[in-house]
A = this chain, B = another copy of it.
Amino acid sequence: MTTATYTVKGMTCGHCVSSVKEEVGEISGITAVEVDLASGLLTVESDDPIDSEQIKAAVQEAGYEVDPS
């Protein structure tokens, strides 16, 4: 199992969290998604590693940005 973390910028409320969870959760191979609103921390679990570009694209699709730092 692989766990990867990202920081998402721009989420302001629980609805934003839900949008990110939904979009990221649709990526093939992902088994669990957790998002913390206060810190912006996005934690993604998968059986095999997921290309970070796919994660970033899903976050953008939801309307937010992954902090590159």
Q: Number of A residues contacting the other chain (C-beta, 8 Å)?
A: 6
Complex: chain B residue closest to A12, CB-CB: B12
CA separation between A18 and B15, bound complex, in Å? 10
**Does A13 touch B at the CB level, under 8 Å?**
yes
Instruction: Enumerate chain B residues within 8 angstroms of A12, measured Cβ to Cβ.
Output: 12-13
Chain A 1-57 residues near chain B, CB threshold 8 A: 12-13, 15-16, 18-19
Complex: chain B residue closest to A15, CB-CB: B15
CA separation between A15 and B10, bound complex, in Å? 13
Instruction: Enumerate chain B residues within 8 angstroms of A18, measured Cβ to Cβ.
Output: 15
Residues of A at under 8 Å CB distance from B? 12-13, 15-16, 18-19
